[in-house]
Amino acid sequence: MHVNQEPGSESGRLVRRDRPVRAGLEGMLPESSGPVPLITYQVPSLSRSAAIRALEDAGRTWRITCNARQMNGILTALHAGLGIGVLARSRIPTGLVDLS
CATH of the domain at 38: 3.40.190.10
Residue 17 within any structural domain of the chain: no
Residue 13 within any structural domain of the chain: no
- Are 52 and 62 contacting, i.e. CB atoms less than 8 angstroms apart? yes
With cut-offs at 50, 70 and 90, classify the pLDDT of residue 4. Answer: very low
Residues 22 and 4: their CA atoms lie apart, in Å, by 41
**What range does the domain containing 43 cover?**
33-98
Determine the pLDDT at residue 1: 45
Residue 23 within any structural domain of the chain: no
Residue 49 within any structural domain of the chain: yes
Tell me whether the omega of the peptide bond preceding residue 7 falls within 30 degrees of 0, making it cis.
Answer: no
Say if strands 84-88 and 36-41 run parallel, antiparallel, or are unpaired: parallel
Number of domains making up the chain: 1
Q: What is the pLDDT of residues 51-68, one digit of tens each?
A: 999 999 999 999 999 999
Say if strands 36-41 and 62-68 run parallel, antiparallel, or are unpaired: parallel
